[in-house]
Structure 1
Amino acid sequence: MKKARIVLFTLAVCLLTAVCAWASADGAEGPNWKNFILRSINFALVVGVVWWVAGKKIASTFGGRRLSIENQLADLEERKAAAQKRLADVEHSIANLEAERAQILGDYKAQGEALKASIVKAAEEQAERIKSQALLSAEQESKAAADALRVEMADKIIEAAQGLLAKKLTAEVQDKLVDDALGKVVLN
């Protein structure tokens, strides 16, 4: 039914166009209706044959094109929705950018303070170790100096005692001391 309307409408437009063209002609005689009708029939037959031979292909081409356009429009709508969503996400992230920046700065400051505290603690511990090592080293050096002083004093006392004994000790007293020492050794 719809096809018949389209065909009738097309024929009516063709007839009206032809009548207007003949009406504007300079000839005094009227239109040659026989020639016009034959040409219209010829035209209708050519269109009918073309439609019969390639009508389905033409219709499927235009139908396929229509489906392709519909698919492209649907795809564009989907892409538009996705782009709007991404735009909303970007706007949201831009809105939160200042808060994120403040949070990142706060995190870095906290990390810096923690690092500073650990460095100060390590330096204090190292200073304590150095102090304790210095005290220990000073004690050891003072002991070594005291021991060296004792050894030196003992050596001087021994030298002084030897000098006194050498002055007061005679050969007879020396022989008597040797004999007493040997007697004690033999008896024990």
Structure 2
Amino acid sequence: MLENSNFVVGIAFILFLGVLWWFGAHKTLATALDKRAARIKSELDEARRLREEAQTLLASYERKQKEAEAQVADIVAHARTEAEETAVQAKADLADAIKRRLRTAEEQIQAAEDGAVRAVRNEAIKVATAAAGEAIAKSMTPEKQAGLIDAGIAQVGAKLH
């Protein structure tokens, strides 16, 4: 039997295992494996906790993003409404300004027409007065002039008393 090398290697291996058993290598190995399992378990727990935190944080950011998008949509809608209202108001203001300017222009035209009519009338009065003066001066004799002066004085005297 000792001549067979497989048998000798087998016996040596069994003796080696026995020595390891005797010195408590199996306990050390089991303790090391238990520690490693515990460390792996704690790392998995930590990873699970971090994952849950990340999901919570992601949900929070997604909710904030949706709120921000809703606010942006509200702001854009409000800006559009204000722009439309401003455009309508600007059109109304422009129409009012045009009406005011037209009214002012018509008033200025009317005033200019009135001024021109007055000027023509005044000129016609001057011409008529001058023509009447010349006609009266040509047709008036000194006796007639004296009679008119006396009649005017009498009329003034009667009105003053």
TM-score (norm 1): 0.52
Aligned residue runs from structure 1 range 1-188, under 5 A: 16=23, 84-95=55-66, 100-188=71-159
- Structure 1 residue 108: Cα displacement: 2.1
- What letter matches 1:16 in structure 2? F
Letter in 1 for 2:145: Q
Give the aligned residue type for 2:131. A
Quick one: distance in 2 between partners of 1:112 and 1:105?
10
Identity value in percent: 22
Work out the CA distance in 1 between the residues paired with 2:100 and 2:133: 48
TM-score, with structure 2 as normaliser:
0.60
Tell me how far apart the structure 2 counterparts of residues 104 and 186 of structure 1 sit (CA, whole Å).
91
Structure 2 runs not aligned, ≥5 long: 1-21, 25-44
How much is the aligned-residue C-alpha RMSD, in angstroms? 3.2
What SS class does the counterpart of residue 134 from structure 1 fall into?
helix
Cα 1:186/1:98, change in 2 over 3 Å: closer
Give distance in 1, aligned partners of 2:116 and 2:108. Answer: 12
Count, aligned residues = 119
Q: CA deviation at 1:184?
A: 1.6
Amino acid at match of 1:177: L
Q: For 2:158 and 2:74, locate their aligned partners in 1 and report how far apart those are by CA, in whole Å.
A: 96
